[in-house]
Structure formats: C-alpha cells, structure tokens
Structure 1
Amino acid sequence: MSLRFRNADLRPVLAEALANKCRVILVKDEGVYWLSEHGERLPNGHQKLLAYAVGCNPNVDSVEDWYELARNELGGDDFAEYFDMQERIMRQILDSNDDLKLVATATKLTLTVIAPESERS
C-alpha cells in the first residue's frame, strides 16, 4: 500500500521551500500532508500552502475515510518528518509532472517518483 501526492498540489509547496531556502515537512495529524518549514501564513495563523495525500485531506475526505487510510499507511501516532530540498527526488518533482509515492514500514519512509494518474495504463 502507499500514499500518493499529486504534483499539482506538491509543486507549490516545494517551490515555496526552495524560495525560502528551508526544508519541507511531511506531517501526519489532521490528514497527511507536506508543507514548507517557513511559509506564508493565513490570518488564522495556519500555513497557507499544504499538499495533502490523495484520500487524506480532511477538507474533502470524510473523517472516517482519511483517518483510516492514514492509520493503515502510517500508523496511529502523529508525526512530522523533515526533508531537505537538496534531495534529488524533490528536484525531480519540481522539474516534472510526476507525482510522489510514499511507502512506510515500521522503520522507514520511502519516496518514489511515479507517473501522474492520468498517464497510468
């Protein structure tokens, strides 16, 4: 099993992190999403740009669905994991239309670039 992050959602977050010369953060709490370590804030203090995993966005997916998917894929605990923008995979996402696939085991997170859903056969 895995989680997918669409390029159209993820690219603005990565571009913001690159512009701010900071890391990106993978977060599991109210959904599963990426955000820039230093990014533009909304008036309520929340980060403006978030890239949610497909099926794990509490703004569009039912709480039962996103919570169960997030728990099945990443376990029950909330977390934040930091990634350097200098990692090759982050640049690949910025320079392509490819999506990002996240696979988690008990000890490891694996990120891979995959073709967008519309291009899959």
Structure 2
Amino acid sequence: MSLRFKGADLRPVLAEAVANQCRVILVKDQGVYFLAEHGERRPEDGRQKLLAYAVGCNPNVDPFDDWWELARAELGGDDFGEYFDPNARVLAHILNSEDDLELSATATHLSLRPMPPASDSN
C-alpha cells in the first residue's frame, strides 16, 4: 500500500521551500500533507497557505473515516512530522517534472519515489 501526492499540488510547496531555503515537512495529523518549513501564512488565521495533501487524506474534501483509516493503515496511528531536503534527488525530480510522488512506509523507513501522473483527474 502507498500514498500518492499529485505533482501539481506538491510542486508549489517544493518551490516555496527552495525559495525560502528551508526543508519540507511530511506531516500526519489532520490528514497527510507536505508543507514548507518556512512558508507563507494566511492573514485570516495564521495557518500555512500551501499544503500538498496525499490523495484520499485531505480532511477538507475526504470523509473523516476514509482519510483517517487510509492514513492509519499506511503510516500508523501516531501523529508526526518528518523533515526532508527539497533538493534531495527525488524531490528535485518532482519539482522539475510532471511526475507524482509515491510514499510508502515500513515500521522503520519512509520511501519516496516518482511515479507517472495518475490517469484519472482525482
């Protein structure tokens, strides 16, 4: 099993991290998403403006039971944040291509790999 991040959603987050010379963070809490460590904030509530949610793990569009179970099945029950260098090979590839990103996990490792974009528009 794995999670997919659409490249079209992830590229703006990666570009923001590169522009701000900071890391990107993979977060599992209210959904599963990437954000720039030092990203632009929304004036109305101070929350991070750019988030790239995993397909099926966005609490703004996916039913709670569905995204929660998908996130738990792939990444376990605990919330966490994991930091990545946006210039790392796989993330730089995503930034400079049309590919999506696949995330898979074991008890001790997270694996990231580029994938051709999904043929559906979801």
Instruction: Indicate whether 1:41 and 2:41 are aligned.
Output: yes
Aligned twin of 1:100? 101
Measure the CA separation in 2 of the matches of 1:5 and 1:30: 16
Aligned twin of 2:31? 31
Identity between Structure 1 and Structure 2 (%): 71
Aligned twin of 2:52? 51
The one-letter code sitting in structure 1 at the alignment partner of 2:39 is G
Three-state SS of the structure 2 residue aligned to 1:110 is strand
Measure the CA separation in 2 of the matches of 1:52 and 1:86: 20
Q: CA deviation at 1:86?
A: 2.1
Aligned twin of 1:4? 4
* TM-score computed with the length of structure 1 as normaliser: 0.96
Moved over 6 A (4+): none
Measure the CA separation in 1 of the matches of 2:86 and 2:102: 17
Can you give the 5+ residue segments of structure 1 that lack an aligned partner in the other structure?
A: none
Q: CA deviation at 1:118?
A: 1.6
For 1:64-101, what per-residue CA distance to the aligned partner results, in whole angstroms no more than 9, with x for missing partners? Answer: 00000000000000000000122111110011000000
Aligned twin of 2:110? 109
Measure the CA separation in 2 of the matches of 1:113 and 1:4: 10
Measure the CA separation in 2 of the matches of 1:88 and 1:55: 25
Aligned twin of 1:61? 62
The one-letter code sitting in structure 1 at the alignment partner of 2:21 is K
Aligned twin of 2:18? 18
